[in-house]
Amino acid sequence: MAAPSVTMQLTGLNGLKKAVRLLKKAGVDPDKITSALRPAAEIVRDEAKRIVAYDEKRTEKFHLKDSIFVMSKPKARHRFSVAVAVSYKRAPHAHLVEFGTPGHVIKVPGKFSKGAPKKVLSSGKQTYGTALWHPGTPKHPFMRPAWRRKRKAVIQSSGKHLGLLFEREAKKLNVRPMR
């Protein structure tokens, strides 16, 4: 008697979600699914690192580029998570680079009392007074464009690695994958 067969077709993100649901339903370890999806996330991480603004003159601590990483860990039983993230400890300004900032007033903190000397904002070279208009900063997105540019490659990589996982799991169940 021939072994039962399994067919897998992956088309876009909906196909990817369906494939993952099938693997979960078959009882495949969420860590294995996460491991299969990690190479796809690495594609986005590498593109984000390539396009993020980079200041060669900066010598202190970390560059934003150095703080982009792939995070993969099971969220809970029967769930998984793979994400491209930025370390907030290394780059607490990442969201300000991605989305920019609007113009705003910077004020000297604290209350002023009568008779006390007024505090002022100063750069050391120039004194600005008790308030200063900051024009904001332009946005320099890097995460969203990285995803948009590499979306097809991510789907292909995910499909390839999930397909290999399907084949390995099918062998364990003595099911012959169809091509």
Count of domains in the chain?
A: 2
| Angular region, 87: left φ>0, alpha ψ -120 to 50, beta rest | beta
Angle between helices 12-25 and 143-172 in degrees, nearest 10: 40
Low-confidence ranges of the chain (pLDDT < 70): 1-13, 15-16, 59, 73-80, 110-118, 173-179
Which tens digits make up the pLDDT trace of 27-39? 777 778 888 889 9
For 5, 7, 88, 164, 175, the CA distances from 170, given in Å and listed in that order, are 9, 10, 41, 10, 5
Cβ contacts of residue 17 below 8 Å, gap of 6+?
none
Supply the range of the domain harboring residue 114. Answer: 102-136
154, 107: one domain: no
36, 70: one domain: yes
13, 66: one domain: yes
70, 129: one domain: no
149, 73: one domain: yes
60, 144: one domain: yes
Distance CA 58, CA 60 (A): 6
- pTM for the model: 0.72
37, 52: one domain: yes
Which tens digits make up the pLDDT trace of 82-119? 888 898 888 888 889 899 999 988 887 766 666 555 67
- Structure confidence at residue 6 (pLDDT): 40
124, 39: one domain: no
39, 125: one domain: no
132, 54: one domain: no
71, 12: one domain: yes
The identity of residue 5, as a single letter, is S
84, 18: one domain: yes
Distance CA 139, CA 14 (A): 31
